[in-house]
Structure 1
């Protein structure tokens, strides 16, 4: 697995730009420039530099799950049969490739992975669990926690 490059140092302008982009990545660069006291060209160069450095990894839209009839959000604890590198790497690849997996974390504390899955309904969720967990010999067991309400969901990080 490739090593991540050392992080590029962020100055106060970069941090201010990132804070604004996390709230609205469609904000015009001239408006960002006005708010952070830089020229639009400087903002454009900084955004391009942060994209190239892997600081900004993608631009996406946050979708209202109810509006697209996705009624099930499941937080799944996955326990692997062992923690050998090959087993963990295969699980990572499977979860990363699955369009049903919204988020996946390799964790400590007696659980191998925490996986977030959004599904249309319980029948669809059962099909997903069969595909990802029940038929997977590397999975010793899994436990599903079904969310009753989505209180907060987002990808924003606090940038000091």
Structure 2
């Protein structure tokens, strides 16, 4: 089966093929790119001791396999004018995840959406300029989605991005 046929199969069934296994070099490449998403292919290749062509092929494979979902900047939301942040938990109508997810993706300031287990169904992280905007988002936008049964808002007082190059705490 060709790569094009596999892609068509995935599109038709909605099921992704399992990712190819990662070796130590792949994991080192991921660690480097997590720390510095702007690292050049040359720099990555030198740091993992492979040729530029090999590093380029590995990064492309990691992108194709959707191990790498994209490249971006880590933002200090407060300094970027988004001083109010909250985790919002949602209880939703059973089997409505896909519909709700599509609507949540359209929300201004939504930066992370997760389907979870436990006392609620969805965990949503949002950033807003101020509490008034955050309140409007919850009371007007979220609670007007028919499949959303209830919400709970947890204000974020302070947040810290974890450094991927730092060793885990003992």
Compute the TM-score of the two structures, normalised by the length of structure 1. Answer: 0.87
Give the alignment's Cα RMSD to 1 decimal: 2.0
Give the counterpart of 2:117 among 108, 127, 133: 108
Distance 2:139 2:164 in 1: 32
How far 1:96 sits from its partner (Å)? 2.3
Distance 1:24 1:60 in 2: 10
**Alignment length (residue pairs):** 154
Distance 2:128 2:163 in 1: 19
Q: Does 1:146 align with 2:151?
A: no
Query: What per-residue deviation string (whole Å, max 9, x for no partner) do you get for residues 66-122 of structure 1?
Result: 221111110111112x31x2x222111111233421101111112011110100001
How far 1:45 sits from its partner (Å)? 1.1
Q: Secondary structure at the match of 2:56?
A: helix
Distance 1:127 1:16 in 2: 43
Task: Label 1:10 to 1:157 Cα distance change in 2 as closer, same or farther (>3 A).
Answer: farther
Distance 1:27 1:43 in 2: 12
**1:75/1:146 contact within 8 Å kept:** yes
Q: Which structure has the higher relative contact order (CA within 8 Å, separation 6+)?
A: 1
How far 1:156 sits from its partner (Å)? 5.1
Compute the TM-score of the two structures, normalised by the length of structure 2. Answer: 0.82
Unaligned 5+ segments in structure 1 are: none
Which residue of the partner structure matches residue 59 of structure 2? Answer: 47
Q: Secondary structure at the match of 1:95?
A: helix
Task: Label 1:48 to 1:155 Cα distance change in 2 as closer, same or farther (>3 A).
Answer: farther
Distance 1:132 1:41 in 2: 48
